[in-house]
Amino acid sequence: MTVLALDFETANERRDSACAVGLAWIEGGAVVRRESRLIRPSEMRFSPGNIRIHGILPADVRDAPEFPDAMAEFLPDLSRGLILAHNAGFDIGVLRASLGAYGLPVPGLAYLCTLQIARRVFPDPAGCGLGKVAGRLGIRFSHHDAGEDAYACAEIALAAVRETGADGVLGLTHALGMPVTAVPAGPPPPRERPGAVSARAVAAARAERAAPEPDLAFAMRGSTGNRYAIALERRPFGLYLRCSCLAGRNARRCRHVDAIVDGDVTDLLSGNLADVERLRRLIAAAPFGSRVMPERVRRIAAA
């Protein structure tokens, strides 16, 4: 049986926003192959919080393949093998949601969660997050790089095999009394509504609108290296983002405003990532007439 570790990084809070995948194959008690790929999400919206974790920017994936092409060579091994993942519910959820986003059927999957394995074999009051377990075991890797995380996940499973004397990774199921989780093959899972915002996010945005609002301002780098200032204003018709570039001074929509609204912080010079996320929540609760809202967001909000 093929045994391989899997790790995804996502662009935002949605499970179908994979922007990177890493895999590590185990054979003969060792990692024998490692692969990683950048993925262009179907919706190019990157949450500042996610960027802070993995460091992947929209510019990094603009020319990357989308999920079906990026994963095509790996799906056969994933469907016929034993998958390892640290906090496997998340990574398997990303795999299923991403297949569903493209209308692709979900193959039969079998997986073990190395977070649960670590809690049984390497318990510690400090916790069993990937970085903490790897640190205690002396596994050297670069955390939140998908390929590196998959490698660390595989090495944790191998360390558990050595610690328990199990007969290979599959033998951990017997040694620990932890069965393999099976996901049956089936049609594409229901897809999240594109552009959907959680009730919590809407409630937070409404609370923010009711509270005194600090100024939201951003500095953006232009295509020729110029620095432009963007400021959020409240006007009679709703929210408005004013940019100091030539288009903005003439009350025309510019690419700098579009980038901030879409969460593309590639050219953000001011570094206030949290404000970009706060702006997104304000937009989600803004009146339909607000000129800060892209046409596609307005259509979604009105649906």
Helix (H), strand (E), coil (C) string for the chain = CCEEEEEEEECCCCCCCEEEEEEEEEECCEEEEEEEEECCCCCCCCCHHHHHHHCCCHHHHCCCCCHHHHHCCCHHHHHHCEEEECCHHHHHHHHHHHHHHCCCCECCEEEEEHHHHHHHHCCCCCCCCHHHHHHHHCCCCCCCCHHHHHHHHHHHHHHHHHHHCCCCCCCHHHHHCCCCEEECCECCCCCCCCCCCCHHHHHHHHHHHHCCCCCCEEEEECCCCCEEEEEEEEECCEEEEEECCHHHHCCCCCHHHHHHHCCCCCCECCCCHHHHHHHHHHHHCCCCCCCCCCHHHHHHHHC
Q: Which domain holds residue 163?
A: 3-183
Q: Tens of pLDDT along the chain (303 residues)?
A: 899 999 999 999 999 999 999 999 999 999 999 999 999 998 888 888 899 899 998 889 989 999 999 999 999 999 999 999 999 999 999 999 999 999 999 999 999 999 999 999 999 999 999 999 999 999 999 999 999 999 999 999 999 999 999 999 999 999 999 999 999 998 877 765 554 444 444 444 444 444 445 579 999 999 889 999 999 988 777 788 899 999 988 888 899 998 888 778 888 999 888 888 788 778 777 655 444 544 444 334 444
Structure tokens at 5: 């570790």
Q: What is the pLDDT of residue 239?
A: 81
Q: What is the pLDDT of residue 115?
A: 97
Q: What is the pLDDT of residue 280?
A: 79
Structure tokens at 19: 């922007």
Q: What is the pLDDT of residue 238?
A: 75
Residue 260 lies in a domain: yes
- Indicate whether 71 and 178 sit together in one domain: yes
Q: What is the pTM of this model?
A: 0.73
Domain end: 152, 183, 214, which one?
183
Q: What is the pLDDT of residue 84?
A: 98
Lookup result for tokens 């996901």 = 183
- Indicate whether 156 and 240 sit together in one domain: no
State the total domains in the chain: 2
Q: What is the pLDDT of residue 288?
A: 52
Q: What is the pLDDT of residue 277?
A: 79
Q: What is the pLDDT of residue 150?
A: 98
Residue 119 lies in a domain: yes
Structure tokens at 37: 């790929």
Q: What is the pLDDT of residue 204?
A: 43
Residue 188 lies in a domain: no
- Indicate whether 94 and 142 sit together in one domain: yes
- Indicate whether 286 and 230 sit together in one domain: yes
Q: What is the pLDDT of residue 199?
A: 44
Residue 189 lies in a domain: no
- Indicate whether 220 and 297 sit together in one domain: yes
- Indicate whether 165 and 277 sit together in one domain: no
Q: What is the pLDDT of residue 289?
A: 43
Residue 252 lies in a domain: yes
Tallying the residues shown for the chain, one arrives at 303
Residue 129 lies in a domain: yes
